[in-house]
Structure 1
Amino acid sequence: MNDRIPSAALRREAPAELLGALAARFGDAFSTARAVCEQHGRDESPFDAAPPSGVVFCASTEDVADAVRLCAAHAVPVIAFGAGSSLEGQLLAVQGGITLDLTRMNGVLEVAAEDMLATVQAGVTRLQLNEELRHSGLFFPIDPGADATLGGMTATRASGTNAVRYGTMRDNVLALTVVLADGRVVRTGTRARKSSAGYDLTRLFIGSEGTLGIVTEVTLRLHPQPQAVAAAVCSFPGVANAVDCTIELIQAAVPIARCELMDAHAVRAVNAHDHLGLPEQPLLLMEFHGSPDGVREQAQTAQEIAAGHQGSDFAWADTPEERTRLWKARHHAYLSALQTRPGCRCVTTDTCVPISRLAESINDTVAEADAAGLPYFVVGHVGDGNFHVGYLIDPERPEERDLAESLNASLVRRALRLGGTCTGEHGVGLHKQEFLREEAGELAIDLMRAVKQALDPAGILNPGKIFR
């Protein structure tokens, strides 16, 4: 996997003149301390790279613009940092440079309840925003699991558990404030729900992983809090049964808000971590939003469909406490799995396929993983055809790294053959660059490179990501 880290010869270290200028401009908000740089030089990916030369703790769009302007004058890379929860190496300083920590940009600038929108700084997290909205009758639905920053979620085009009903960040971002590679500030989009005015620059920056500009403010679409919410859990004898049940739920037009798969390995891990006592079989976690009668009808329909696929131990709850207990399993799956093999690293992947090909994709993936004998777990937002596999490897055993990457390559290429994508929500980063080429083709890659060259001719914005 280390062959994805560019050669040390490509690193553009920050000169003393730049470090001095940053210290003069930002004072205590700039640090070159080794511990601070190392903290900002790693994420949840299995990659190891040298840390940045320094970290600027930005508190405003002006701070970001000034920092980028100084770095641009010295052709030194700039990497944006949010919660640090990326899984594909997006925030690693693989060509050196300065990291801009945006977590102090944590202001909710406006909540316009009548327009059902909010404008926030990039460092606001999704839980923070929903706490702010708690008494407004509105909520922001995108839930990638981690309490990620909304700037980071925009940069990686995040989605998560609610995407089957509410869409992804692409569908819920109306406007952006972005700092460009030369320090200029551009504002894209409007508060209107639709527009036909020119190129869609907002969606150009969504999912660009900090390679085209640094998002500093986001205007988001909000949704009404449902009158009633019910969560349900149901176990199945095999993964195939659970996936087939999901497909029938979608085809039956049940307006399900969340539909999450956990395989037996994931269930076993969360049982050990959270003492939940769930049957250690593949299960579906579901959530229904609507009126009290509508939610009850949805849950009953789901129970009937699940029974037709040998579903058992169907339980549902409509109180916040009961729902929290059921969803704790899904949100703790990743960290729980890591604890089943102390000292391990997790090579994670995510693909998304048409819902009709989901069962084939997951079944073949599970069969290959079982045959390989490497510890793994499967979770997925199966309501929209997206699932994740985590291969748990011993970082001191190169043969396990190679095996995990081989399994990952087979999984991704299977998704491409089935009409899917190499990444449903994690992004490209370092890990999926070759697969992006296979998926998109050379001409599309050339077009993407042309956009990058036009917006960042010196190549200072998060270099080494998306393209080699």
Structure 2
Amino acid sequence: MNAPQDSAQLLPQIAPRPVPQPLIDALSARFGAQCSTALAVREQHGRDESPFTTVPPPAAVVFAESTRDVADAVRLASEHAVPVIPWGVGSSLEGHVLAVQGGISIDVGRMDRVLSVNADDLTVTVQPGITRKALNDAVKDTGLFFPIDPGADASIGGMTATRASGTNAVRYGTMRENVLALEVVTASGEVIRTGTHARKSSAGYDLTRLMVGSEGTLGIFTEITVRLYPLPEAVSAAICSFPSVEAAVRTVIQTIQLGVPIARVELIDANSVRGVNRHSKLNLREAPLLLMEFHGSPAGVKEQAETVQEIASEHGGADFEWADTPEERTRLWTARHNAYFAAVQSRPGCRCITTDTCVPISRLADALLDSVAEADASGISYFLVGHVGDGNFHMGYLIDPDDPQERALAEQLNHQLVRRALRLGGTCTGEHGVGVHKMDFLAEEAGAGAIEMMRAIKRALDPKNILNPGKIFLL
């Protein structure tokens, strides 16, 4: 197959829509210093962590501070049929925040307040710009926590938009299961509410689930109500090294199939361990390892840990290291979360093309091991991490951004990995989302009929196609 030769070739070939000066003047009049056309500000809002580096920035950036600000900005853009792109912290990996059809960026980072905490009902309502770490800091005195942890300190709005999950998903689910209600600004600038604080409802269409994962293409979130969970009575973490990736994966599969209620189980390959050791000043054995965490009562945690240790031993697991104090656990999980940055630093000047897939747990070994073999055979620098307890894993290919052959090779490996996951009954993305990078894969996964249904919903809710156009699919 012929893989693309550079990032520009991966982008939808649609000319940007003009942004008329009267719109810029209207935004400046309405928002004053909250609206910027400075090139440095626009360029900051014209890139993310995706492999795309050649997209022009938005024509202006509006720093929203309230629901009314978002609604007014969208209303003005709608009058001129100009695209609007929601912006959180810019940590997306598939080109979600790029102005591929031009337009303006609406930065909700200043909308970062906790609006209400209902500890009795285990819910909290927040603005979209608050990050997951800030949210947990805000509720820690209640004895509750928000478990969704994609690794990056992403905004709750961005996590909702991409239906994020992460390290805790095997125990606590994804954003799909944990968002109860939304306040949304529609394409016309109208403000609507979806869902309630109740744990379930049979009332009408489930608009909340429609919006969660819509990647900014159906509305812009201004309030989000999510579930909280009691902090577990006991928490214990452990790392265990394995002779091979296969041995680690077989351990995970057996653990999940036995019904062990493990909270977190992360696979880190030898390449990642080497990078983490240098970056985080650790001395982990440079072999594939599992980083695990157990939540529950002291007796329950002990039983879970003993069961998993026995399974791991059957597959050659060794060098069990326990981390029972918060400081020790933080040290290990911080190292895991820094695996991406550690890998990038291992090859100065490189660009990382990351991808993720998710497959049924019974097919995890088939999907992962063949992908590792292909990467090894290619000679390309890469790293592997995965929330493998739910069949989700990530490959990161480290390329010279100025070498078209390396980029083409990385994209070819990405294509092979994703199509393998689809053949095995999986999905093209477990948590990164579609953006612009995986539109072709979504079409293969969902089929023409389902894509046309999505387009029909988009046309009905956004007839001028101004909400983050050019993402997920093309109209």
**Is TM (by shorter chain) over 0.5?**
yes
Match of 1:112 among 98, 102, 118: 118
Which amino acid in 2 is paired with 1:463? P
C-alpha distance in structure 2 between counterparts of 1:267 and 1:328, whole Å: 13
Aligned to 2:163: 157
Aligned to 2:190: 184
Which amino acid in 2 is paired with 1:308? E
Aligned to 1:424: 430
C-alpha distance in structure 1 between counterparts of 2:151 and 2:126, whole Å: 20
Aligned to 1:438: 444
Aligned to 1:11: 16
Q: Does 1:259 align with 2:268?
A: no
Following TM superposition, by how much is the alpha carbon of 1:329 offset from its aligned partner in structure 2, in angstroms? 2.1
Structure 1 contact 267–329 (Cα < 8 Å) conserved: no
Following TM superposition, by how much is the alpha carbon of 1:254 offset from its aligned partner in structure 2, in angstroms? 1.1
Q: Does 1:405 align with 2:411?
A: yes
Aligned to 1:46: 51
Aligned to 1:380: 386
Following TM superposition, by how much is the alpha carbon of 1:13 offset from its aligned partner in structure 2, in angstroms? 2.8
Which amino acid in 1 is paired with 2:121? D
Structure 1 contact 381–387 (Cα < 8 Å) conserved: yes
Structure 2 contact 11–437 (Cα < 8 Å) conserved: no
C-alpha distance in structure 2 between counterparts of 1:37 and 1:256, whole Å: 43
C-alpha distance in structure 2 between counterparts of 1:325 and 1:53, whole Å: 42
Once the two structures are superposed, the pairs formed by residues 176-255 of structure 1 within 5 Å of their partners are 176-255=182-261
C-alpha distance in structure 2 between counterparts of 1:329 and 1:108, whole Å: 28
SS of aligned partner of 2:165: coil
Following TM superposition, by how much is the alpha carbon of 1:44 offset from its aligned partner in structure 2, in angstroms? 0.2
Following TM superposition, by how much is the alpha carbon of 1:296 offset from its aligned partner in structure 2, in angstroms? 1.6
Could you list the structure 1 runs, at least 4 aligned residues long, displaced by more than 3 angstroms after superposition.
none
Which amino acid in 2 is paired with 1:23? S
Structure 1 contact 165–258 (Cα < 8 Å) conserved: yes
Aligned to 1:79: 85
Q: Does 1:465 align with 2:471?
A: yes
C-alpha distance in structure 1 between counterparts of 2:255 and 2:331, whole Å: 23
Structure 2 contact 422–445 (Cα < 8 Å) conserved: yes
C-alpha distance in structure 2 between counterparts of 1:357 and 1:446, whole Å: 29
Once the two structures are superposed, the pairs formed by residues 3-402 of structure 1 within 5 Å of their partners are 3-7=9-13, 10-48=15-53, 49-402=55-408
Following TM superposition, by how much is the alpha carbon of 1:22 offset from its aligned partner in structure 2, in angstroms? 0.4
Which amino acid in 2 is paired with 1:435? F
Structure 2 contact 12–436 (Cα < 8 Å) conserved: no
C-alpha distance in structure 1 between counterparts of 2:407 and 2:386, whole Å: 23
Following TM superposition, by how much is the alpha carbon of 1:315 offset from its aligned partner in structure 2, in angstroms? 1.0
C-alpha distance in structure 2 between counterparts of 1:39 and 1:317, whole Å: 39
Which amino acid in 2 is paired with 1:208? S
C-alpha distance in structure 2 between counterparts of 1:10 and 1:208, whole Å: 23
C-alpha distance in structure 2 between counterparts of 1:271 and 1:136, whole Å: 35
C-alpha distance in structure 2 between counterparts of 1:316 and 1:172, whole Å: 30
Which amino acid in 2 is paired with 1:374? I
Which amino acid in 2 is paired with 1:92? L
C-alpha distance in structure 1 between counterparts of 2:358 and 2:189, whole Å: 36
Which consecutive residues of structure 2, in runs of 5 or more, have no partner in the other structure? 1-6
Structure 2 contact 357–429 (Cα < 8 Å) conserved: yes
C-alpha distance in structure 2 between counterparts of 1:275 and 1:105, whole Å: 36
- Return 295-304 or 199-208, whichever deviates more: 295-304
C-alpha distance in structure 2 between counterparts of 1:415 and 1:250, whole Å: 19
Structure 1 contact 13–53 (Cα < 8 Å) conserved: no
Structure 1 contact 270–332 (Cα < 8 Å) conserved: yes
Q: Identity of aligned pairs, percent? A: 69
Following TM superposition, by how much is the alpha carbon of 1:5 offset from its aligned partner in structure 2, in angstroms? 2.2
Following TM superposition, by how much is the alpha carbon of 1:99 offset from its aligned partner in structure 2, in angstroms? 0.1
Which consecutive residues of structure 1, in runs of 5 or more, have no partner in the other structure? none
Which amino acid in 2 is paired with 1:319? T
Cα deviation 1:184-204 (Å, max 9, x = unaligned): 011000011000111100000
Cα deviation 1:152-205 (Å, max 9, x = unaligned): 000000000000000000000000000000100110000110001111000000
Which amino acid in 1 is paired with 2:20? P
- Return 201-210 or 9-18, whichever deviates more: 9-18
SS of aligned partner of 2:278: helix
Which amino acid in 2 is paired with 1:78? V
C-alpha distance in structure 2 between counterparts of 1:142 and 1:326, whole Å: 18
Following TM superposition, by how much is the alpha carbon of 1:87 offset from its aligned partner in structure 2, in angstroms? 0.2
Which amino acid in 1 is paired with 2:371? T
Cα deviation 1:216-253 (Å, max 9, x = unaligned): 11000111110111111000010000000001111121
Following TM superposition, by how much is the alpha carbon of 1:304 offset from its aligned partner in structure 2, in angstroms? 1.0
**TM-score (norm. length: structure 2):** 0.97
C-alpha distance in structure 1 between counterparts of 2:34 and 2:134, whole Å: 23
